[in-house]
Chains A and B, each alone.
Chain A
Amino acid sequence: MLEIVIWLSFAILSLSLLLSFVRLLRGPSLPDRVVALELMASLTVGFIGVHAIASQRFAFLDVAMVLALTAFLAAVGFARFLEKRGMHADD
């Protein structure tokens, strides 16, 4: 039962990663890409959680914690960069 659900959620998460990659490629503006990147980081946190269950090693949860922290820092950094830089034509 749990094995099927684990593989199913791996599949669903991979599909979501693919979808957010579509948004990352299509843009159209830089903030859209930042949102897609943040979603990908959040998806990866979920991936690590599923992998921790699949491999039955809970040490992976520490990785998820660190990844959530760095994703937040990256989002804040991107937001500050955007606000300082202003809109450019090549977005």
Chain B
Amino acid sequence: MTEWIAALLLMAGSLLMMLAALGAVRMPDLLMRMHATTKAGALGSGLIMLAAAVFFGSAEVWARVLAIIAFIMLTAPVAAHMIGRAGYFVGVPLWGRILRDDLKGRYDTDNHSLESPAEFNERRQHEDRRDQ
């Protein structure tokens, strides 16, 4: 019984990993590629670790596997956020058919901080009034 569950988890995990790799190759721009690789990749490796825990079944393996899964789930979003932010900041071209870019003009190029929407709208109104 445990063997069947482990086999199922293993299959699901490796298929998700392939989905992530496929997304990395086929998606049109950086942020979409990250959308595919980060989530499917983290879930895939988590499922494979879970398969190992089910297969061995002892307490020490479960503890290790849960630690690895917790670590992956904590670090994958942070790493993806940092790379996506750096990529956007560096000016990697976005997909041609994107309709709106909410971050446009909000990054301060000197100190790399992001303006909040309220401040951005206030500044826009200010500039509009000055133009009139």
Interface residues of A (CB under 8 A from B): 1-2, 5-6, 8-9, 12-13, 15-17, 19-20, 22-23, 29-32, 34-36, 38-39, 42-43, 45-46, 49-50, 52-53, 58, 61-62, 64-65, 68-69, 71-72, 75-76, 78-80, 82-83, 85-87
**Which residues in B have their C-beta under 8 angstroms from that of A83?**
85-86, 89-90, 112
**Residues of B1-44 contacting chain A, CB below 8 A:** 3-4, 6-7, 10-11, 13-15, 17-18, 20-22, 24-25, 30, 33-34, 37, 41-42, 44
A85 vs B52: C-alpha distance in the bound complex, in angstroms?
Answer: 41
Q: Do most interface residues of chain B lie in helix, strand or loop, or is the interface mixed?
A: helix
A90 vs B87: C-alpha distance in the bound complex, in angstroms?
Answer: 15
Interface centre among A1, A36, A42 (most CB of B within 10 A): A42
Contacts between the two chains (Cβ within 8 Å), count: 178
Query: How many residues of chain B get a CB closer than 8 Å to chain A's CBs?
Result: 54
- CB proximity of A36 to chain B, nearest CB, Å: 6
A46-B71 contact given A29-B87, A79-B79, A82-B90, CB 8 Å threshold: no
- CB proximity of B26 to chain A, nearest CB, Å: 9
Q: Do most interface residues of chain A lie in helix, strand or loop, or is the interface mixed?
A: helix
**Which residues in B have their C-beta under 8 angstroms from that of A80?**
82, 86
**Which residues in B have their C-beta under 8 angstroms from that of A35?**
24, 30, 33-34, 37, 83
Beyond A16-B22, A19-B24, 6 additional contacts (C-beta under 8 Å) are A32-B30, A45-B45, A46-B48, A58-B60, A65-B68, A85-B90
